Amino acid sequence: MKLFQVDAFTDQLFHGNPAAVVPLDTWPDDELLRQIATENNLSETAFLVPSKEADYHLRWFTPTHEVKLCGHATLASAWVLFHRLDFPYNRIHFTTASGPLEVMRENDTISMALPCWPPVAVAPYPGLLEALGLDGARAVLEARDTLVVLDDEAGVRAVEPDMRALKALDLFGVTLTAPGDEADAAYRFFAPSQGVDEDPVTGSACSSLVPYWRERLGREALELHQVSPRGGRLFCRYGPERIVVRGEAVCYLEGELKL
């Protein structure tokens, strides 16, 4: 099996979010996929198989779970298809657990059409703010992820979650967000229940962040800055059914799995 490791949502090595990409001819047992993802020990490993329904069937695994959507590993998978596997067209159609995904090559960038999941306001989940070390929040909303809105980017950067307490809440993911200093919005993403304490750059979070910030700021096009230690910038456009997320990627590693 070939293996690629790609830094997504960046044009520099050692930045953005690293994802492993493993192209396959057919699907092996799920247990082998989980073992490979655990061995890679990255936030996501993507697996690709040619599909009759689309160009490829795409699946994503954290070190502990299969997930229904992952943005940065989708971008990494498309980069591998375009730049290493000689995919002949500028548009790739994936079939996934979240439905069909379309990815387009535009010069040096790759754009993905992700689902739109508008979040709705909810009462803070018991123990959530305490696990984040917060006394309060401007708002708490929920879609796939729980969004905790703060007043400024400095507040987002300063949060030091109690990961054990956050994992015990069994929420899929928690996104902290606030107006950005150098972008429309800043955010961080935590998913300890899925085997990922803090994700470096999370494309799928845009499915809920973009509808929220579009309504709040009144703009269809938004730049989001994920302020993790590695950091990444995502250029997004709102659509009522799809969120278009654009970014770059660079390849760090190419090799073979000896199985």
The two structure tokens encoding residue 143:
């879609």
The pLDDT of residue 170: 83
pLDDT exceeds cutoff 90 at 108: no
Structurally, what CATH architecture does the domain formed by 120-238 represent?
Roll (3.10)
Q: CA 9 to CA 71: how far, in whole Å?
A: 10
> Phi-psi region for residue 167, left (φ > 0), alpha (ψ -120 to 50) or beta?
alpha
Q: What is the CA radius of gyration of the chain?
A: 18
- Give me the count of residues in the chain: 259
Output the pTM of the full model: 0.90
Cβ 234 vs Cβ 9: under 8 Å: yes
Matching CATH topology for 2-113+246-256 and 120-238? yes
In DSSP notation, 102-155 reads EEEEETTEEEEEEEP---EE-PPPTTHHHHHT-S--SEEEESSSEEEE-S-HHH
Q: Among this protein's residues, is 44 annotated catalytic? A: yes
Cβ 69 vs Cβ 114: under 8 Å: yes
The pLDDT of residue 51: 96
* Residues 152-173: tens digit of each pLDDT: 999 999 999 999 999 999 899 9
Longest pairwise C-alpha distance within the chain? 53
Show the CA angle centred on residue 39, arms to residues 100 and 41, nearest 5°: 70
Q: Catalytic: which of 39, 44, 198, 220?
A: 44
The pLDDT of residue 6: 98
CATH superfamily membership of 2-113+246-256? Diaminopimelate Epimerase; Chain A, domain 1 (3.10.310.10)
Confidence of residue 35 (pLDDT cuts 50, 70, 90): very high
- What is the percentage of the chain residues whose pLDDT exceeds 70? 100
* Other Cβ atoms within 10 Å of 87 Cβ, number: 16
- 């990627």: which residue's tokens? 249
In DSSP notation, 210-248 reads HHHHHHHH--SEEEEEE-SSS-EEEEEE--SSEEEEEE-
The pLDDT of residue 250: 97
* Residues 168-218: tens digit of each pLDDT: 998 999 999 999 999 999 999 999 999 999 999 999 999 999 999 999 999
Domain boundaries, the chain: 2-113+246-256, 120-238
* Other Cβ atoms within 10 Å of 91 Cβ, number: 12
